[in-house]
Amino acid sequence: MKRHPTCSDAVCEVGGHLTGGCSASQEIGCCDSCGSHDLPFWEHFLDHHVWLAKLLSGPVRLLAGLALFILALLLDDSPVKLLVFVAAYLVVGAGVIVQAFINMFRGKFFSEHFLMSVATIGAFIIGEYAEAVAVMLLYLLGQALEDRAVDRTRRSIVSLMAIRPLIAHLPSPEGVLDLTPDRIQVGQEILVYPGERVPLDGRLEGQGGSVDYSALTGESRPVSLNSGDEVLAGAINGASVLTLTVLRDEAHSAVMRIMELAEAAGQKKTPIEMFTQRFSRVYTPLVVFLALAMALLPPLIFPGQSLQVWVYRALSFLVISCPCALVISVPLAFIAGIGNASRRGIYIRGSQYLEALTHLDTVVFDKTGTLTSGAFEIVKLDMAPGVDRDYLIRLAAAIEGPSNHPIALAIKAMNKDQEEVRPMDIQSVQEIAGHGMEGTLDGRQILAGNKALMDRYGIALPNLEEDMASGSLVHMAEDGHWLGSFTAADALRPGALTAIDRLRDQGSQTIAILSGDRQEAVTEIGMALGADYMASGLLPGQKMEELDRLSELTKGRTAFVGDGINDAPVLRQADVGIAIGGLGSDAAVEAADLVIMTDELERLPDAVAIARLTKRRVQENLVIILLTKGLLMALGAMGITPLWGAVFADTGVMLIAVLNSLRAYYGRVPR
């Protein structure tokens, strides 16, 4: 007798528990051949007995049941005919009946399997053998077609997420070791061969190369790399061997963050999804009792009415009333919509946020790195009399060293351009949120930041702002004296105006900009985009207050769009927090409800268009299902719709709704 290493339960030779259960879990079992606690025992069993899995598959049972059904119809009335009908029924319907009992054992008494079982067993009881088998045949056919359509789309969506590399190549004295990415540590060097997926986020060492980020961004164009560039996990390497220094472990890599987003997408439901689930829990027991009343009350109240006729009508009513089309098609439409967005590099944390996009009234933007490119360039340097230019640049680069703000990066890049770079040992460096940086050099206080920081420490500044229209200023001070100021310029992001115009066309009434930058810089960008509201010089807490005020003034939902740098609190506070340029931004993925992996603002109206498309599919399904069901239930109660016709119609409605839901995945986004 073998014992499973994880839970010590008895296992058979091919794996899987002899008892069909597992002490570690009541829902799933263990398998020595396939891994650990990952799938139900019976799925492992069928995996190891392919012949049995094929025998029990839907198409095989459908064909066998159909052959027996035709044979029974050709036979003369005799006990053999009844036995063949029973055999045909068991071949196609045994699984449905077993599932009905399993559901009842789990507390789900009124499932679709229960309705079909009651209807067909009832048909057998009243002697309608052919109709009982026909109902099960049509139901099995409908389920097979529905499962094929749904599984195909689910596989398409899941394949978008199947970008997690399984192997990392680690150079060692013994040669190149092939290890799983979770065994690689930060700081180690790995190799990525041509055509392979990058297993971990890393910094490129040595010669350049190119990668394809299409799995992350939806764009299949290659991205050129230079030594020192960051490369993200999930990218496909081009034609050269890359050497990367690992920057993040697997759990914090770009691939894992995207997979977390994908897993979270199915956890948060829209109000309409939750309503359909609650509705079905009340609706199904109600129609069962109505069918019972339809079968019994007319013969009791009206003399001469046939019990068999009314039982038959009640069974038709019961079959037609099955709410599975409603319960399946609505969530499927939202899953398809989220998958459509994922194909375009737009990752949505849940269907409730996809639905919220259809009600956007106010869209609030951060400026730097969101509406603008964030690629600042120092265009002017003002210095106090007697201050050495090189000293000022080196000092500014040193104190801005820990900062990843775009202006800080521009200052540090300016320092790298100098022929001789002598690092300065700035001590006790700390970031003052929304103001700048503070530190000490040989006991002297060093400040780098905006005017508010200088005012806070009583630093007198020359009047520099009247000579500039929209640049951003970073002032430098040493021991209470102004040393100089850097003027950084930033350009409007390409496509920003087009994105704003499309958002207005889609129903957004208010476009607002909240920024910590100077009023002149914010006003210039706001005027270029036709913004309705602009606020400048804001600290992160003040942005939240402004967002609250804007939310109170709007009738619909409010979205905040930022680049994930210093925007996490505001992203969490908005009805829909949208992070743009999510590649490599931990804060963006953690805080946002929707992440646009590229820096293209046009993807935002694309997301809204997908949300509106998805909502239309849901509304169409509701109209189709409710009108058709209502009409058929009335016809069934009047005895016009036969039992097999009821199943045929119900299956047809189901397939129409499912196929219509799938249009949300394949639908085109107009631009």
Indicate which residues carry an active-site annotation.
366
Helix, strand or coil for residue 210? Answer: strand
The full DSSP string for 550-584 is HHHH-SSEEEEEE-SSS-HHHHHHSSEEEEES-TT
The pairs formed by 469-473 with CB atoms below 8 angstroms and a separation of 24 or more are 469/520, 469/524, 470/518, 470/520, 470/521, 470/523, 470/524, 470/525, 471/379, 471/380, 471/521, 472/368, 472/376, 472/407, 472/517, 472/518, 472/521, 473/518
Contact 539, 557 (CB under 8 A): no
Tokens describing residue 19: 């008892």
Alpha-carbon span 455 to 450, nearest angstrom = 9
- 476-512 in b/e form (b: 16+ CB < 10 A) is bbbeeebbbbbbbbbeebeebeebbebbbebebebbb
With beta carbons less than 8 A apart as the criterion, state whether 584 and 293 touch: no
End-to-end CA, the chain:
65
Residue 252 has φ and ψ, to the nearest 5°, of -110, 15
Nearest to 644 by CA among 288, 145, 119: 119
Report the C-alpha gap between 223 and 584 in whole angstroms: 15
CA dihedral of residues 65, 70, 74, 79 (deg, nearest 10)? 20
Residue type, 327: V
Measure the CA–CA gap between 198 and 188, rounded to whole angstroms. Answer: 14
φ/ψ (deg, to 5) at 472: -100, 140
- To 10 degrees, what angle do helices 112-125 and 307-320 make? 160
